[in-house]
Chain A
Amino acid sequence: MTLLEARDLTVSYDHRIAVADLTLTLKPREITAIIGPNGAGKSTLLRTLNGQLRPSSGAILLDGEPLQRLSRRTISRRIAVVAQEAELRFPVTVLEFVLGGRFAWATNTGWGWETERDVKVADAVLRETELSALSGRLMNELSGGERQRALMARALATEAPILLLDEPTANLDLSHQATLLTVVRNRCEHGDAGALVVTHDINLAAQFANNIVLMKQGRAVQAGTPKAVLQPQILQDVFEVRVIVDVHPVTGGPRVTPIHERNP
């Protein structure tokens, strides 16, 4: 079974090709990390998979159905996104913010009210992301890391089986990075979900992802298991920096260390 599939996807805007001939599949219980230098088209790929950008050619299939035939709400029940930070010019509590994730399930999207189940789901994801104690606080009073977790909580509240995460750990300290990725891992293993994670942290990708797609200039130059993709020569070619790849002493997976050579 495949949750999400992209076939020969090409996306271009402003006469520039951002994603070229990219093919990938996301299966349940799988985390795929997308890595690559800045401007490789990683975020563009996520926005296209979610229907925000229209591909110039190729197809996106959601549960086997073409994405463009599905309504916005149907897609939002299947795909949850964590992207850049929300704009918080109005005071909103953490609970209200997270309940926003239930919108796609509402029977009345106009002047309807959250059901008991909506509130239960919100409470559960607040616990999962360790935000229960902050649920009555205003979003703009939170720290960057807490806000990032609230974004994650809202995405989880959608109960979508497909998670598209753009730099989900960017603002988080080491322990919260681990918590967050464990939450994603649990969703995938016990909730039959699949996650596509764009990240700059190659070692985090090596530890948490089943597959890694390495992108450069819109193309997937390598795809496969962390061991297969994270080879010194491949990384050197893509990132244009010398790296050492050795074995992580605990996980046994690959560990990447860039070497910053000083000019003599």
Chain B
Amino acid sequence: MIDSATGIAGRTAPANRLTLRKTLISCVVLAGALLLTIILTALIGSESLPARASLCALASFGTNACGLTQDQFDILFQLRLPRILLAAAVGGSLATAGAAYQALLRNPLAEPYLLGVSNGAAVGTMIALVFFGANQWTRPMLAFTGALIATLAVYRLARGRAGATPERLILAGVIVTTFLSSVIVFVTTLMDATRIRSFTFWLLGDLSGTSKTLLPVAISIAVAGALALTLHARSLNLLMLGERDAFDLGVEVGRVRVVVFVVASLLVGSSVAASGSVGYVGLVVPHLARLSLGSDNRISIPAAALGGALFVIVADTLARTIIAPRELPVGAITALIGAPLFIYLLKRA
């Protein structure tokens, strides 16, 4: 059926229409690349591991040491693999959220970090750390709440009489970001001096403090969130062309908006609670996905999810190796790549 459908499109219309087959192939290729990256980056680090034995141990899912020493085995399974998986969850979450914000807000520049959503989640996380330090679960929950409040604030601020223009939205993002930054500074002063340094690192996006409890949460939310948003891809395709048009064509605009705001806030909240604000992932990755695979959200959202995972794993591998044994915050690397791209996009908008 798919083949005959493309046959028709090919015969009477030369346009490259997105089909299920094309989408599945792209997703499988990206998933394969992601798996390969996970395996390869697990072998890279300040401590060199024997490649063959490590691959054997990875293939056995840690049931067989394959001749690795206990230290090497622990580095691989207790340090590197959890960190890589968290990088994947964080990257996937942020890129998916970025892709969805961009479609919903009709703005190629929308991104959790630039909109202030990440900062909202950061404030939530800090409040959890300062006031409920003992309870790990309050962190993602308050981060989610903070992200949602920041999202709604930016949305309300950006909506003028003539609707939200890209510039107006970014301006609203700047206002919310700077406001929340001062809240962060304020909360930081309530902390003892020893924690402030690790805190500054965390604020820039840092994956070194991977928490065993939060890792499964972050992965589950990343997967569930990407699925939930992909399942609204057709509505988002129409919303990308204007809310009124989407409404006329049958989209329940209000419902889709609520779903995107809540799911994207969950994604941003869980990744910020785990790793701080890793910036620009939500801008760079969806943009590359659209550039190479087209604007159709049925492909660009799942591709952004997989590509975001890949991007942050690579960025974090750079962060922990280029000046090894010292480390850079991963957010510094992503911003180094993302900021120039942002300028380029802003000039084109």
Contacts and interface: CB of A to CB of B under 8 A. Distances in A.
Interface of A: 50, 52, 72-73, 75-77, 79-81, 83-84, 86-97, 99-101, 103-104, 106, 108-116, 119-120, 122-123, 126, 132, 135-136, 154, 158
B249 A123 contact: no
B225 to A, nearest CB: 15
A86 B248 CA distance: 12
Interface stretch (B52-60, B182-190, B234-242): B234-242
Given A111-B231, A111-B233, A112-B234, A93 B250 contact: no
6 contacts: A52-B247, A76-B248, A96-B18, A100-B238, A111-B233, A123-B13
B187 to A, nearest CB: 37
A73 B230 CA distance: 20
Contact of A81 (B8, B234, B248, B349): B248
Given A123-B12, A132-B12, A101 B249 contact: yes
A104 B9 contact: no
Nearest to B294: A91
A79 B166 CA distance: 31
Nearest to A81: B248
A101 B251 CA distance: 11
Contacts of A112: 234
A109 B15 contact: no
A61 B233 CA distance: 32
Contact of B13 (A52, A110, A126, A154): A126
Contact of A100 (B5, B249, B294): B249
Given A101-B249, A109-B235, A116-B5, A86 B13 contact: no
Contacts of A89: 106-108, 166, 240, 349
Contacts of B5: 113-116, 119
A122 B9 CA distance: 10
Which of B103, B237, B290, B349 has the most chain A CB within a 10 Å cutoff?
B237
Contacts of B294: 91
B78 interface: no
Contacts of B237: 96, 100
B252 A72 contact: yes
Contacts of A123: 8, 12-13
A116 B234 contact: no
B250 A104 contact: yes
B250 A95 contact: no
B250 A73 contact: yes
Contacts of B290: 90-91
A75 B249 CA distance: 9
Nearest to B240: A90
Given A84-B244, A95-B17, A136-B13, 16 more contacts: A76-B248, A89-B108, A89-B349, A90-B290, A93-B17, A95-B13, A100-B241, A110-B234, A113-B2, A113-B20, A116-B5, A119-B8, A120-B8, A123-B8, A123-B12, A123-B13
